[in-house]
Structure 1
């Protein structure tokens, strides 16, 4: 087996070497910075880098005690997270050169655990659908997905071992799928959102990207404070619910092939695989997610809508106009309906430990004018359930294809343990 170069090390492997002092933080940070220098002009994953500050932080870590689980690990931070030492523009010219007075809580937690913030990664405009400059590392003519486009691309291209992202509809799982990395969206409410530009408080979730399940579990443990996430091993029979979802007819040949191969491989093992029967009206969750997001985004971005309308993209303006005209009583009813659905879907986990379901309709679409459809993510985002994208294979064009696992609300540690086990069995 070929020994990986420093910048290619996964976060968990690098963290072990750093904690043992068998690897210097400065050497790892320098290797990642060199990769960024060589590749970022092509991939456009980072919107801002401060190499001098990153190297200074790394040297300080090498000269002091081990700080925590992320000691010395380079980290990419999506540019909707506030940072005091780096500009935070939220993917919009409205906030060019903006310097927040405080770091986002999640960024502070990562720094406290020893992470070295390498720079800010590209986000779509206010984490909605207007794309930034990032391209797919596997084919520059294809989208990397969104809205966490830069974070997913940076990890996929080995610029950093870990990166922070957010999801309201499909902004972690979809770019993870298109770029071929592991993406982890925690349960709703498990990570404090202070200092992150809010779109929809009912659904916004902070998570991240890594090369493997153990990598995102390391990041997740720091973000949530739940050390059970580090116990990424599952014993006994795993009850896997096969849930292609009512949107399955829109999955393309690549996703269908990955599904067939994955379900056949799992059936050959000792795991229990059973088809999931979702409620007949499950399809209504798609529109419900859109309505809740539209109402809340229009209000979350009221300052931008009223004071900087001319600087916003046409698609964002259209969404904000639609959302601000929506009735508050109808929104309250939508939130109540969402709460009822969360109880209904929770019953599925009496019979299944995790649900296997598509992440996307297929591999990354060609073109950079759009970021792809979050079709297979919307319902799970509305329900607030934890999810992990697992990259499994490549299609005939060399683009990544994979599937996602969805877990029970609040049982992220069980989801990640199952994801580690399943990923080891399914990669081919």
Structure 2
């Protein structure tokens, strides 16, 4: 057995199991021990069944010994955001409205995880209805700080080494921002790569699935395993998906052409984030084209909010109408504002969203990726919200693939991520560029 197996990345654990140096039971038990030792302070898990996890791991080991076919995640423990339906676990969606909720069916991505051989460890804490009201999870680097939202538990569970992989969702900044705050890799692929069937719907136009891991190869591996076409998901596309793992392990054939947008809200960056990003841009030099985009691009922040607020009021109307007394005072004003948005205003916002997608399709003819902040800076103190998502808003609205790399450190020692955004459905190229950026920055700072 490998000592402290919980520290292994998913790809390292797979190699160890393939060589016979580690079993899935040993890996899962090591992760459970780490959870027991640390989750009292972090509170990353909404539901955990150690016996069920060990039983899944034992079956993985049995299949391996029997010489059966093995999936790409065989024996690897994975955490699921608590808005993802799982038949044998409650899915409570971060709200007392859904306390004890149990479904007969599982989400499509859970079916893929099972087929891939993953061990479903449990459900990670989310904010109320995956929106603005924070829950109890703390930042593993400093429990006095927030882990971000709404995929708070998934990011914290990976950062605390409870599991090597976790699944989250992003409607605005809920994968990239908590990954930045918690110092993990976070990847939100192109909208439509991963099915949302069996997930809480807050915005049919904006909800997207993403992954957390300890390396680029890890998030690519998980995305490959759960991505597929699904006729039951309106945004799912019936075309082959990019090979994420190939992209994350490939060398860039030429030096990438990168862009940086000087957006008006860049003044929200903390001094540490600004200094760190300036240092990155200085190292990249002429490889980055600095651009001052039209004001219309900044105005997309309001467009995203209008679509999100209108659609959550439509999708969750029954919840708000019948359980208003159980809705937080944080969410209530958002719902009240969303109910004032007219159908015409909503349709106008959708038209602007389509224009933004067309703009970026043309933009990426000349550029491989956009370099951007992942968040405004370090994680805020717990109780002061989950952080500003504005540095993710434009890219999420347009459905573009985004990845955050844990490259910077703030004044108090908390991590700060650097984000790369790529062209739609060229996620493999984005991950290849991210690998190049990691290597280039490492060599430049040696």
Normalising by the smaller structure, the TM-score range is: over 0.9
C-alpha distance after superposition, 1:309-367 (max 9, x if no partner): 11010122221222123111221111111101110122221111011001111111123
Report the counterpart of residue 90 of structure 1 in structure 2.
93
Question: How many angstroms apart in 2 are the aligned matches of 1:163 and 1:126?
Answer: 18
Question: How many angstroms apart in 2 are the aligned matches of 1:368 and 1:95?
Answer: 23
Question: How many angstroms apart in 2 are the aligned matches of 1:97 and 1:117?
Answer: 19
Question: How many angstroms apart in 2 are the aligned matches of 1:412 and 1:326?
Answer: 34
Report the counterpart of residue 232 of structure 2 in structure 1.
none
Report the counterpart of residue 179 of structure 2 in structure 1.
176
Which residue of 142, 145, 158 maps to 2:145? 142
C-alpha distance after superposition, 1:168-219 (max 9, x if no partner): 0100011001001011111111111000001111110001100111110001
The 5 Å alignment of 1:34-53 reads 34-53=33-52
Other structure's SS at 2:435 match? helix
Query: Structure 1 residues 247, 343: closer, same or farther in 2, change over 3 A?
Result: same
C-alpha distance after superposition, 1:191-250 (max 9, x if no partner): 110000011111100011001111100011112244611112222221111234332111
Which residue of 268, 277, 285 maps to 1:259? 277
State whether structure 2 residue 371 is matched by structure 1 residue 356.
yes
Which residue of 225, 236, 241 maps to 1:222? 225
Contact map agreement 2:138 2:382 (CA 8 A) in 1: no
The 5 Å alignment of 1:389-428 reads 389-426=404-441
Deviation (angstroms), 1:277 = 4.0
The 5 Å alignment of 1:205-220 reads 205-220=208-223
The 5 Å alignment of 1:369-388 reads 369-388=384-403
Contact map agreement 1:9 1:161 (CA 8 A) in 2: yes
Contact map agreement 1:135 1:368 (CA 8 A) in 2: no
Count of aligned positions:
423
Other structure's SS at 1:355 match? strand
Report the counterpart of residue 58 of structure 1 in structure 2.
57
Report the counterpart of residue 292 of structure 1 in structure 2.
307
Which residue of 99, 102, 110 maps to 1:99? 102
TM-score by length of 1: 0.95
C-alpha distance after superposition, 1:28-78 (max 9, x if no partner): 001001000111111000111111011011011111035311111100100
Question: How many angstroms apart in 2 are the aligned matches of 1:276 and 1:187?
Answer: 23
TM-score by length of 2: 0.92
Question: How many angstroms apart in 1 are the aligned matches of 2:3 and 2:412?
Answer: 25
Question: How many angstroms apart in 2 are the aligned matches of 1:181 and 1:339?
Answer: 31
Which sections of structure 1, spanning at least 5 residues, go unmatched?
none
Report the counterpart of residue 169 of structure 2 in structure 1.
166
Report the counterpart of residue 16 of structure 2 in structure 1.
17
Other structure's SS at 2:91 match? coil
Question: How many angstroms apart in 1 are the aligned matches of 2:438 and 2:75?
Answer: 27
Report the counterpart of residue 203 of structure 2 in structure 1.
200
State whether structure 2 residue 308 is matched by structure 1 residue 309.
no
Q: RMSD across aligned C-alpha pairs, in angstroms?
A: 1.6
Question: How many angstroms apart in 1 are the aligned matches of 2:157 and 2:441?
Answer: 24
Query: Structure 1 residues 262, 298: closer, same or farther in 2, change over 3 A?
Result: same
Q: Which stretch of the first structure deviates more once superposed, 62-71 or 273-282?
A: 273-282
Report the counterpart of residue 235 of structure 1 in structure 2.
253
